[in-house]
Structure 1
Amino acid sequence: MASPQIPPSSSSSSPIHRLPTFNDRTINAEPPQPSPLETFASDPVFSAFLSPSFDSAAFSSQALSSGSAAARAESLQESIRLLNRHLRSEVLSRHPHLLSSLLSLRQASTSLSSLRPAVDSLTSSLQRTRQDLATPRSVLKTRTIQLKNLLATADLLHHSERLLKLAARLRDERLDLARAAELHREAKVLYEEKGLAGIEAVDEQMRTLGEASGKLRAEAAAAAERGMDGSNQNDIWVGLQVYYNLGELRPAVEALVSKYKVAGIKSINTALDMKAISSATSSGGFGGPGGVQRSGTPQIGSGKKAGEALWDRMRHCMDELYHVMAAVWQLQSVLTKKRLPFTQVLFLQEVWQEGEPLLTERVWEALVKAFAYQMKSAYTASSFVKEIFTIDYPRLFLMVENLLERISRDTDVKGVIPALSLEGRAQMVGAIQTFQVSFLALCLSRLSDHVNTIFPVSSRGIIPSKDQISRLISRIQEEIELVRMHGPLLHLVLREIAKVLHLLAERAEYQISTGPEARQVTGPATAAQLKNFALYQHLQEIHSRISTTMSTLPDSASKILSRSLKEVYEVECNSVSLLFKSMLEQLKSCINKMHQQNFGGDATDDGSLFGNSASPYMEELQKCTLDFRREFLSKLLPASSASRSEAICTRLVREMASEILVYFIRNASLVRPLSEAGKLRMARDMAELELAVQNLFPVEQLGPPYRALRAFRPVIFLETSQLVKSPLLQDLPPSVILHHLYSRGPDELESPMQKNKLTLAQYLLWLDSQGEDQIWKGIKATLDDYEMKVRGRGDKEFSPVYPIMLQIGSVVAQSASLL
């Protein structure tokens, strides 16, 4: 901060200025010098002395360390002398003002000395007044204390009288429990809040009320338990109201819930107490006087009785758990329905806070936890219990399911929270999960052992007998029947059966013979084929009977086995598909010999066209179908025509017969040239074909292929001009008509086979791989070549078949464009 400036002297006549000290300064009249504080502020060393946070020790330490301590000390001394001179100058310059201030202080002291007698007089007056007021105040305080005591005594007497009257009313036997509890609560509150302890008459009445309160609690508990056990909500309400009036609702409800929870847990522990079962089934027990053996297994001869005793205890346990949950739910329902008289708050809110589990949830969680613990302990500690519950797991599962169903059904009341949630049901089922896993493993093991027995891994070529297959099917059906009524368990068992069927399909596929002996069709059935036939029949029996069983189950259960049954079906097909493929190839090779016949000659050129006998290739075809029927189909097709539609071989025979008809028509349409005599021969061969195919399958049941054959026979005799309008064309593929028209056209109208120089086999293979639109494109190319040849010669007329083929082809092209 800046130091005050020294003002210049206002008058040279001041006595102070006439002192010798100022003579030189006045005479010289030097200009004013800067203030020492301003000099210090600009000095890098002394500026630190103006700081509020100046530290003398730090300054001294710095001076000593810099090596100039003596010079610095001298500088400081000079600064001190400068400050002293400046201070003296300031005092002398303000001398008149200081003298006037001194005179003012002297006058103030004189005034104060005159006020002292008045203050002493006032102090004496105040002391006399205090003495005059002290006596009335003391009297008033005494009287106030007396009044307060009198009022307190009157209040105690009033409340004591009220309490004695309440005690007298409580002795009235006509009071109901709820009213008696209300009066008892009022008396107790009055005694505690008004401090009536120590009054002999009151204390005596409170002892009597204490005895009465014990009776009230006992009667309330009896009423509540009677209502919970008998599903009488009125009794429960009476008991709860008594507890509420006593101010003990929450602890009373907790005690009731705890009592039933403990009873449920005790029943679970008792049900799986093997020592108790031992004592109940035999006087000596399973393991002698000590009860069960260490392994938990009863002695020889007592296992059956022990098992029945175990199931009896489990039934009793399930009944007890139902009773506990139903009772707690009844209690919770009353708490949910009833409200407080004045506030209309639900009783439930007095014993339950938001976010806490409900009473039923708490009890069920404790029961499930105890049940799961006991089940796990029994599984690991008792081989006997493990065996009983594993082998007869569906019975255990049914008990649990029935318990859950009973609780859910009986507590499903509109407007009331049910006793069980979906999560709670799942927890109970999960408690027996260990035995479920063992049961499913045992089920899989039993069925897998059957499959391993009839289809051993180490042997190939061994075909099981019908009895073995029948036993396997019966075993699968027994496993299904065992759990048919248990939806979730049924699905689990079906998944294990699906694994077994998958294993069966793998083993059966390994047994299928695929060598040359399995494919030969020129002689009697070989041993390899007979083995495949037997395998096919076994798989067909398995697939048919299991499918029949599955048709009686819900759709959700049937879908589980659909994939594995499909695998069995595919292996069943594979066991005979090679044979049917070989038979079809043999029959097609017979039809291919059609093109070795002369269908273009007449009666004079070729006498073979006359007569009633079939063509050689057709005779060969008929012989093959008869041989196939005798050697193969008779062993594969079912004896009963009613079940024929269910057999794979029936489908394969139908497909083979249909393909033979289609293949014959396609080859017949390629015959070129075709004379009138050749048409007669072709028609006779068609009739013989029907008889040949009849050996395989009823030809009239083949549908479109048979209609196409019956339509092609009259088509070949129609005039070319009549073809377009003939309704017979509807039953024939356009490619057949187009190829047949080549036989009616001139030689220069080449077919796609001739144009591309393909063999018959190559062309037929191409036809099988193409659709009608692609075949038409190939035919259209030959028609375009024919048109160019005709126009190249300068002719203006085309063969009659040319416009007909274009017309039929345009229909094919139009149909293809719409797709």
Structure 2
Amino acid sequence: MSQIIQSDYSLFASAAFDANEYANAILSGEPYLPSSDLKSSHVGKHPHKLSAPEASAKDDISQAISKLSFGIEDVSKQIKSLVTTHHEDLLSQAANANRLSGSLTSVKSDLTDLDSSVEKLRRKISVPRQSLHFSLSRLQKFQQASDLLRRTSRFVVLARRLQSQMAEMEQSASKANASTTLKLSESVAQMTSSDPSILGDTGDGKERTIAKAALSIAELVILIDGPGASDTSGADSTGRVNINKGDFNLRSINAITSHIPFIEDARVKVTNEMVNMVITGLSTLNQSLLASSLQTAYNLGVLPYQVQALMTELAQDVEDRIKRAFDLTKISKDANKEGNASPNPGTSTGPQYKSRVRTEPTNVTAPQWTAALWVRLEKMTEEMADCCIKVYTLEKVLKLKRDTISQTLFLDEAMNILENTPSATFWTALSRALEKHGRDSARGSSFIQQTLSTGYPKLLRLFHEFFAKIAVHTDTVYSPSHQSPETVLVLRSLTYFETLYLSRSTNKLNEVVAQAFPSNGARVTPGANDGLNIARTVTNELDSARFDPLFIRAVAKVVVSTLDIMISRADHLIVKDRAAILLSGPSPTPAQIMNSYVATCLYHCHSRLVKLREEYSDAIFQIISLSIDKIHATYEQIVDPLLTAIRRELGAIIARLHRIDFGKSTDRAAGMGGPSFYMKDLVDKLSYIKLEVLNKYLVEEDNHKWIMSIVKFVLRTFVLHVSITQPLGESGKLQLTTDMTELEFALSAFMVDGSQSQKRGGNLDSLGDEYRLLRAMRPLLFLENGQLANPMYTTGVPPLIVLHHILVRSPLPLPHSLHGWQEAEYVRWVDEHSEEEAKTLIEGGLSHWEKMAETEGRNAKEAEEYVSLARTVLQNASI
């Protein structure tokens, strides 16, 4: 119901409701539309129709009035009801409104006072500020005007000064030309008598004038365009000043504008003179002239850009010359000129057919092409040296020269835009150009690749000459002990050709190794010639690179890899089983023959390579020394087991003498009257070892050392076995003497070098103590017991042998019997230990026997003499 009532009253609550229009609508029986709905209908929107309570035109006016009356009564009732319900709230709100009226009046008064205070402050601050702002603006304009006047005044003074300086410069130039003409026309005598300082003074005066004019021009440019206009940002490529810059320049003053063309022309002239002075100074390496030109560039404000332009030009010049050196077209033309200039004798001089320019030589023209290429490379290195000297001269002047006024170092000024020093920039550009054009030319031409890869040492020598030439003018050093970073950088640019050369060197070395040790599984027998060929090839490769400290290191590394391959292949050929050390005879085994060939090859290779220590520095030899040591170690892997087997075999034969009873008066089984059977076997075995085993090893000095060591071993082992032979009678002593004589003859024959016409080492006296011991052993056997303890009778015999012989004659047990050893085991023990340890062992045996004799009650009278003799010998040995 309330919604219906609100809907009925919504028309009257509208803000656009008009009572007159509503009454007219009722009277005319038409629906009533407020004016806002009428406007919306004109815009094209759907209007919200607000119809009058009169739904139809047929309703009469009375009904409309009655409805209005009813509505008015209803609204009045609702208002009365609301007032009745909320009368307390309405009263409280009215009271609050009455109270707020007083507070609002106070606030309004305070706001009025605030507005008046703000107005007073505005009159005290804002007005003076506006006046001050206006005054400051006028002052700024006065200062700008004063600055323009000051700059104008200074400009006029400098312009006049520049005019006089330019006139003086032209006058100096004319005097210099006149002096040059006069100098050319005078005779030598007149030139000698004239004052040589005139031309120099004129030149110096001209240089000082140019520097002053440059300073004047720079200041004039600053006056026109403000600070920062004197550098290259204020000048075009021709050197003309760009004066259309700045907010407060002097271009609007007519008197100054008329001077601008003159200033531009003066700057162009000074710039050209400066450039000519720089070029002349670099060409003649005249540091004084170069310093004057750089001072001019500094005064003009273009020093960093001028240095940068010079470095760019020099770097480009070097690159162009390197590119021309590798140009196959020019090489072809040079080769053709050389071929036409020196024709082969006997050829026809008639008209010849001229073919087009070739890019690769033929077999006939290859020598001419090669000669032409090397000539161009030599010329290239000379031109590179000239450019390098110019760069270092420029950098030296930049390091030493300072501005006379600001004391600014010219190098620091140039480094404001340069990324690096001139020398570093030059070396970087040089190395890049060499690497790029060299690699590209080699990849595009097999002729250049082959020529420079095979002739890389020659190319490297050209750069050594280049380093030597520039060393006088630069701080670069290239020596075996020290290499400057710049030189290393340049040589690294030739890595492409070095790699090709090292590859060829590797192939050459591998071919020599492959000839001696094939990798295809074929069983070959390398020999002395193969070892010498390998060593000779290694030596030649190192010798071709010894002039360069870096190059020889690279070659040495290649040599190491090749030697490692050789060692690996040799190790596969070495036979390491029992057949390699079998000495049963009558001929050597195939394994022994193969090992002898491999050992001979390794020996000769090692003996030549080890001499390189005397030919090269320790740093270089240290690179290949490990591989050389590996060769010797591989060689010893063959030899050492064989020598050990020989000693073991000979020791076993000598130990068989203990099977013979030397205590009997006669022993037919032992062959009394001649050498014993074991001695005959020993002689035969020595002959077999010498002829069938050792002679297979063509190792010269080592063969002689082996023979000497084997002979000494046989003598030492034989004497030790003889000294412990028990029992020993008079006939046994004679038999041992006979065996000793036979052994001397056998060893003397064993020491003879059959490959020479005369005996080498055949004299047993060269053996030293071992042979003297054998000779002294004979009388020792026949000495009386009392003489054994007398050193006068036992000269040349070690105390240990004397002690053994005393124990052999006595009832005392020998050391090996006391410990349960075999004779061969005891001899091996003595050979592996010191003589002091052996004497200690004997002394312990004596003490042990004495204790046992006391304990068991044995009759020790028979042994007292021998114990006393042994104690005496031990006492004499300790003195």
TM-score by length of structure 1 reads 0.71
What is the CA–CA distance in structure 2 between the aligned matches of 1:791 and 1:707, rounded to whole Å?
A: 40
* Residue 254 in structure 1 maps to residue 250 in structure 2: no
Equivalent position to 1:742, from 807, 823, 829: 807
What is the CA–CA distance in structure 1 between the aligned matches of 2:97 and 2:297, rounded to whole Å?
A: 97
In 2 relative to 1, CA 465–91 (structure 1 residues): closer, same or farther, beyond 3 Å? closer
Give the CA deviation at 1:664: 0.9
Matched-pair contact (CA < 8 Å) for 1:164–1:202: no
In structure 2, the residue corresponding to 1:176 is in which secondary structure? Answer: helix
Matched-pair contact (CA < 8 Å) for 2:307–2:414: yes
In 2 relative to 1, CA 317–637 (structure 1 residues): closer, same or farther, beyond 3 Å? closer
Q: For residue 449 of structure 2, what is the aligned residue in structure 1?
A: 386
Give the CA deviation at 1:241: 1.6
In structure 2, the residue corresponding to 1:671 is in which secondary structure? Answer: coil
Q: For residue 195 of structure 2, what is the aligned residue in structure 1?
A: none
Q: For residue 348 of structure 1, what is the aligned residue in structure 2?
A: 411
Equivalent position to 2:216, from 186, 192, 196: 186
Give the CA deviation at 1:663: 0.9
1:118-197 matches, cutoff 5 A: 156=152, 159-172=155-168, 173-174=171-172, 175-190=205-220, 192-193=222-223, 197=251
1:273-672 matches, cutoff 5 A: 273-282=327-336, 297-353=360-416, 356-408=419-471, 410-412=473-475, 422-458=484-520, 460-463=522-525, 471-512=533-574, 516=579, 519-520=582-583, 522-523=585-586, 533-549=596-612, 551-573=614-636, 580-581=643-644, 583-601=646-664, 613-626=674-687, 628-631=689-692, 636=697, 647-672=701-726
Deviations 1:606-663 (A, max 9, x none): 699999854443344344434544555556567xxxxx5xx22122112111111121
Residue identity matched to 1:497: V
What is the CA–CA distance in structure 2 between the aligned matches of 1:91 and 1:475, rounded to whole Å?
A: 122
Q: For residue 8 of structure 2, what is the aligned residue in structure 1?
A: none
In 2 relative to 1, CA 229–681 (structure 1 residues): closer, same or farther, beyond 3 Å? farther
In structure 1, the residue corresponding to 2:512 is in which secondary structure? Answer: helix
Equivalent position to 1:694, from 729, 748, 753: 748
* Residue 709 in structure 1 maps to residue 770 in structure 2: no
Give the CA deviation at 1:369: 1.8
Residue identity matched to 1:424: E
* Residue 674 in structure 1 maps to residue 728 in structure 2: yes
What is the CA–CA distance in structure 1 between the aligned matches of 2:602 and 2:144, rounded to whole Å?
A: 108
Compare 144-153 and 541-550 and name the one that shifted more.
144-153
Residue identity matched to 1:726: P
In structure 1, the residue corresponding to 2:864 is in which secondary structure? Answer: coil
In structure 1, the residue corresponding to 2:450 is in which secondary structure? Answer: helix
What is the CA–CA distance in structure 2 between the aligned matches of 1:542 and 1:206, rounded to whole Å?
A: 86
Give the CA deviation at 1:448: 1.4
Matched-pair contact (CA < 8 Å) for 1:614–1:685: yes
In 2 relative to 1, CA 478–91 (structure 1 residues): closer, same or farther, beyond 3 Å? closer
What is the CA–CA distance in structure 2 between the aligned matches of 1:311 and 1:406, rounded to whole Å?
A: 18
1:76-155 matches, cutoff 5 A: none
1:36-115 matches, cutoff 5 A: none
In 2 relative to 1, CA 89–715 (structure 1 residues): closer, same or farther, beyond 3 Å? farther
Deviations 1:530-578 (A, max 9, x none): 6655554444433333334553222333333333333433454555666
Matched-pair contact (CA < 8 Å) for 1:191–1:197: no
RMSD of aligned alpha carbons = 4.9
What is the CA–CA distance in structure 2 between the aligned matches of 1:488 and 1:162, rounded to whole Å?
A: 61
Compare 655-664 and 434-443 and name the one that shifted more.
434-443
What is the CA–CA distance in structure 1 between the aligned matches of 2:144 and 2:571, rounded to whole Å?
A: 110
Matched-pair contact (CA < 8 Å) for 1:573–1:648: no
Give the CA deviation at 1:366: 1.9
Residue identity matched to 1:701: S
Q: For residue 223 of structure 1, what is the aligned residue in structure 2?
A: 277
Identity of counterpart residues, as a percentage? Answer: 22
Runs of at least 5 residues in structure 2 that lack an aligned partner in the other structure: 1-81, 117-122, 124-136, 173-204, 225-248, 340-353, 752-760
What is the CA–CA distance in structure 2 between the aligned matches of 1:477 and 1:378, rounded to whole Å?
A: 32
What is the CA–CA distance in structure 2 between the aligned matches of 1:152 and 1:568, rounded to whole Å?
A: 92
In 2 relative to 1, CA 227–636 (structure 1 residues): closer, same or farther, beyond 3 Å? same
Compare 610-619 and 584-593 and name the one that shifted more.
610-619
In 2 relative to 1, CA 156–506 (structure 1 residues): closer, same or farther, beyond 3 Å? closer
Give the CA deviation at 1:509: 4.6
Matched-pair contact (CA < 8 Å) for 1:517–1:526: yes
Residue identity matched to 1:176: K
Residue identity matched to 1:323: D
In 2 relative to 1, CA 150–583 (structure 1 residues): closer, same or farther, beyond 3 Å? closer
Equivalent position to 1:232, from 281, 286, 293: 286
Matched-pair contact (CA < 8 Å) for 2:673–2:735: no
Matched-pair contact (CA < 8 Å) for 1:228–1:236: yes
In structure 2, the residue corresponding to 1:551 is in which secondary structure? Answer: helix
Matched-pair contact (CA < 8 Å) for 1:711–1:728: no
Aligned length: 685
Give the CA deviation at 1:324: 1.8
In structure 2, the residue corresponding to 1:456 is in which secondary structure? Answer: coil
Give the CA deviation at 1:365: 1.2
Residue identity matched to 1:168: S
Deviations 1:733-765 (A, max 9, x none): 66544433321321xx32343234443344444
Give the CA deviation at 1:407: 3.5
Runs of at least 5 residues in structure 1 that lack an aligned partner in the other structure: 1-72, 113-122, 124-140, 415-419, 639-643
What is the CA–CA distance in structure 2 between the aligned matches of 1:512 and 1:413, rounded to whole Å?
A: 52
In 2 relative to 1, CA 185–98 (structure 1 residues): closer, same or farther, beyond 3 Å? closer
